[in-house]
C-alpha cells in the first residue's frame, strides 16, 4: 500500500508491542503487590519496574529526536537546492515544519515551505496539505 498521510505512522513492533507492554505489566504487578502486601522489597521492585518503563520510553524518544535532526539537515539541503534565491524561507522553517515537509514532492515543497512560514503551519497541517506524497521508508 502506498504511503500517505493516513498510513505513514510507523510502529516499532519490539518497542510498541513487546517492551512497553511488558514494562507496564511489571509496573502494574509490582504496584499491586505493594498495595496488597506492603514491604520494602515490593517498593524496590516497583521502582525498578518504573525505571525500566521510563528507559524504554526515553530510548525511543532519543531515536526520534535524532531522526528529526537528520531530517532537518536533509530538508535544509533539499530546500536550499530547490530555492536558491530564497534562503530566508529555508532559514525561517523550524524543525517541526521541516519534518512535515519531508513527505512533500519537490514540486510541492516550494509552495508548502513558503506557506508554512507565512501561516506558521505545524507538522500535521503541512502533512495534511500534501497532495503528491513522497514516501519515507527509513524512519525509526
User: Confidence band (pLDDT; 50, 70, 90) for 10?
Assistant: confident
User: Confidence band (pLDDT; 50, 70, 90) for 140?
Assistant: low
Instruction: Report in angstroms the alpha-carbon separations of 105 from 2, 100, 110, 136.
Output: 14, 12, 9, 11
**Nearest to residue 46, comparing CAs of 62, 35, 57, 58?**
35
Q: Over the stretch 75-106, which tens digit does the pLDDT of each residue have?
A: 999 999 999 999 999 999 999 999 999 999 99
- 8 Cβ contact partners less than 8 Å away, ≥ 6 residues apart: 103, 127, 133, 135, 136
Q: Over the stretch 53-74, which tens digit does the pLDDT of each residue have?
A: 999 999 999 999 999 999 999 9
Asked if residue 41 has pLDDT above 90, the reply is: yes
| Residue where the block lists cell 537546492 | 81
Looking at residue 7, its pLDDT comes to 59
CB atoms within 10 A of CB 10: 11
Instruction: Find the range with the poorest average confidence among 56-65, 107-116, 131-140.
Output: 131-140
pTM attached to this predicted model: 0.78
Amino acid at each position: 500500500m502506498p504511503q500517505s498521510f493516513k498510513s505513514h505512522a510507523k510502529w516499532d513492533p519490539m518497542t510498541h508491542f513487546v517492551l512497553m507492554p511488558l514494562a507496564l505489566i511489571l509496573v502494574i504487578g509490582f504496584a499491586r503487590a505493594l498495595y496488597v502486601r506492603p514491604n520494602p522489597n515490593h517498593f524496590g521492585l516497583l521502582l525498578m519496574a518504573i525505571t525500566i518503563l521510563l528507559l524504554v520510553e526515553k530510548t525511543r524518544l532519543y531515536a526520534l529526536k535524532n531522526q528529526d535532526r537528520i531530517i532537518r539537515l536533509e530538508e535544509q539541503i533539499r530546500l536550499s537546492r530547490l530555492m536558491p534565491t530564497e534562503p530566508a524561507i529555508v532559514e525561517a522553517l523550524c524543525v517541526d515544519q521541516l519534518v512535515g515537509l519531508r513527505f512533500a514532492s519537490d514540486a510541492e515543497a516550494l509552495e508548502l515551505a513558503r506557506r508554512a512560514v507565512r501561516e506558521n503551519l505545524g507538522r500535521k497541517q503541512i502533512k495534511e496539505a500534501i497532495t503528491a506524497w513522497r514516501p519515507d521508508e527509513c524512519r525509526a
